[in-house]
Structure 1
Amino acid sequence: MYLNKQKGLSLIELMIALVLGLFLVAGVIQIFLGTSQTYRLTGDIARVQENARFALDILARDIRMAGYSDPDKGEILPFFAVASADCPNSDDNNCSTNAVDANNSDILAIMFDPINDTDCIGNTSGIDEDDVIINLYYIDEEDGIASLYCRGWNRTDNSWVGAQQPLVDGIERMQILYGVTNTSGDAIQKYVNKDDVDDWTKVRAVRVGLLVSAGSPSGSVERKTRSYTVLDSGKIDITDNVNRYIYTTTIVINNSSSDYI
């Protein structure tokens, strides 16, 4: 008598193998998705940090030089343009520190005689050795991406040096506070916004606050409402899936006489 040997798999064994295979595939997919999400989030955070560093470096460089002029010329310049006579409203840009931009961010108009005869974009055309330049920093948007913009105003010739240019993407909000001294010394007594500066000659330092993203229209985090407060901005509510961080720094104006922050 001969026994029939089993050939192949039974239906039950095949179903069990398929189920186990599906579990393995699902696990691999889950690991892949988690790794991909982590990679995107890490990349976004790195870009946010890079954008913030570039923006703060650019602003700090000019703020330190505010009010500079060649000592041989004997001219004392204001640190910032706050009067329409220095930086009139034209070409849809109010070139004045007293203004706010379309994003309700502060505008920073830094005045000095540049050593290299260039504006904040690097333009040299039309800038002579003795010209006083006002670098206007503000936030604007293009294609849904907010950026730190700059444009140079030639106060000597009363003309724009060139067209506006974005410097750093992902800068969504900029708030400025000014460190002012009292009448008896140079020690900074308080930091106030532009509306509370009574005497601009008493400004000794500038505190900058930035709300920074990776500069992409979509992010890598859960979509929900997040709240931010940038210096004196008040509560800012934004609903999307974009990861943002707040960065602040304080810069002493080198051409002031203060040794204190």
Structure 2
Amino acid sequence: MKQKGFTLVEMMISLFIGGLILGGVMFTYIGMKVTTKDTMTIGELQESGRLAINIMQRDIEQIGFWGTYYDDSFTAVNTDTLANPGTDCFEGLNNGSFPDFATASNFRTIYAKVAGESKELNCLNNPIKSTDIIQLKFLQGKSLTVNTVTNETQADENYFVAEQEKAQFFRGTVNAATLNVNATVWPYSHHVYYLSEQTYKVNNKNLTVPALMRKRLVGGSINTETIMEGVENMRFVFGLDTNSDNRVDTYRSIQDMKYTDWENRKGILTVQVFLLIRALQPDPGVKIKNQTYTLGEDEDKRVLTFTDNFRRTVFTTTIRLNNVGSNLWRI
């Protein structure tokens, strides 16, 4: 019996249909791959921004809390202080890690400035220019138990011993026998957050990325820590109470802040934080031309324009200083 095969036309039609199906599958695969990559990049941006804000928020919220110490200022009469480290972060009067009684100004527990020089606050080398720097001094965690404080304190850490009208900054192991029965002991911290470019080697190539950095007081020295890569710009706006009604009356950028604003323990009630987060590596599939990002809505708002292949997003939040205001924290 004579068998029949496919004709040339039938084979061409079959190949054409098969090609369409294969092309559709490949197109779907490529689309899903691109979508997955985009989703991962956006997720990384979201996670970086969220973590960076959360880390700074924990510190900022503690400003103004001094345990059971109730005086409005630190003086030579009511406070025992420590010498500031030689590599300390400071600028202006009474703005080091510990109170300085040689000056008449109040001890600054929060301070900020815009980076403009290759060295800022005596301790920051090559911060990214036109980005903000914030300096914070606060008590961390919960108070240590007085009866067991000798075992709970460490030789290379700093502490704050609080009584109602007496304060002491202390480094090292605290002797419980020397403490008043009503005293409370707290870990003491001095942090400075800023942005700097960091270089890493990836696949034998140098990759330079912006990063959120932190200077941290450890014992009698200042250590440097990388907090989060990808933070490209940072800005702060401060909400002030100017008439002691415990409400924000005005918002001021760093450029508008006066030295008296920094020294007023009751003045700054909120801090608005603006972060511009950037992907660590460029995306060839993204072509950005004159893309504008705005940090803030005030007169001094920072407007940034980019033409490159990096994905970016802006994060913002307002942090309340719970322990500052016309009624200071009492426990």
State the TM-score, normalizing by the size of structure 2: 0.63
Q: State the Cα distance separating 1:38 from its structure 2 match.
A: 1.2
* C-alpha distance 177-82 of structure 1, shift in aligned 2 (>3 A): farther
Q: Which residue of 2 aligns with 1:246?
A: 314
Q: Find the partner of 2:112 among 81, 93, 97.
A: 97
Matched-pair contact (CA < 8 Å) for 1:204–1:258: no
Q: Which residue of 1 aligns with 2:247?
A: 187
Q: Which residue of 1 aligns with 2:136?
A: 110
Matches within 5 A, 1:27-66: 27-66=24-63
Q: Which residue of 2 aligns with 1:120?
A: none
* C-alpha distance 102-96 of structure 1, shift in aligned 2 (>3 A): farther
Matched-pair contact (CA < 8 Å) for 1:41–1:221: no
> Partner amino acid for 1:126?
D
Q: State the Cα distance separating 1:185 from its structure 2 match.
A: 3.0
Matched-pair contact (CA < 8 Å) for 1:177–1:206: yes
d(CA) in 1 for partners of 2:306, 2:155? 41
d(CA) in 2 for partners of 1:73, 1:128? 20
Matched-pair contact (CA < 8 Å) for 2:241–2:325: no
2:207 aligned with 1:207: no
d(CA) in 1 for partners of 2:69, 2:250? 33
Q: Which residue of 1 aligns with 2:175?
A: none
Matched-pair contact (CA < 8 Å) for 1:180–1:197: no
Matches within 5 A, 1:151-230: 151-153=215-217, 157=220, 159-160=221-222, 162=223, 164-198=224-258, 199-200=261-262, 201=264, 202-213=267-278, 215-219=279-283, 222-225=286-289, 226-230=291-295
d(CA) in 2 for partners of 1:235, 1:177? 15
> Partner amino acid for 2:325?
S
2:95 aligned with 1:86: yes
> Partner amino acid for 1:104?
S
> Partner amino acid for 2:131?
S
Q: State the Cα distance separating 1:98 from its structure 2 match.
A: 2.3
Q: State the Cα distance separating 1:74 from its structure 2 match.
A: 5.0
> Partner amino acid for 2:273?
V
Q: Which residue of 1 aligns with 2:193?
A: 137
Q: Which segments of structure 1 move beyond 6 Å, counting only runs of 4 or more?
A: none
2:274 match: secondary structure: strand
Q: State the Cα distance separating 1:85 from its structure 2 match.
A: 4.8
Deviations 1:171-221 (A, max 9, x none): 2211100111213533211211112112221211100011123x4212375
Deviations 1:232-261 (A, max 9, x none): 4432112223322211111111221269xx
* C-alpha distance 245-99 of structure 1, shift in aligned 2 (>3 A): closer
d(CA) in 1 for partners of 2:95, 2:73? 14
* C-alpha distance 133-84 of structure 1, shift in aligned 2 (>3 A): farther
Q: Find the partner of 1:13 among 10, 14, 17.
A: 10
Q: Which residue of 1 aligns with 2:156?
A: 126
1:35 match: secondary structure: helix
Matched-pair contact (CA < 8 Å) for 1:209–1:246: yes
Once the two structures are overlaid, the 10-residue window that deviates more, 241-250 or 28-37, is: 241-250
d(CA) in 1 for partners of 2:15, 2:113? 70
2:232 match: secondary structure: strand
2:209 aligned with 1:148: no
Matched-pair contact (CA < 8 Å) for 2:138–2:190: yes
> Partner amino acid for 1:67?
G
> Partner amino acid for 1:127?
E
Once the two structures are overlaid, the 10-residue window that deviates more, 30-39 or 133-142, is: 133-142
Identity %: 24
d(CA) in 2 for partners of 1:103, 1:37? 34
> Partner amino acid for 2:243?
T
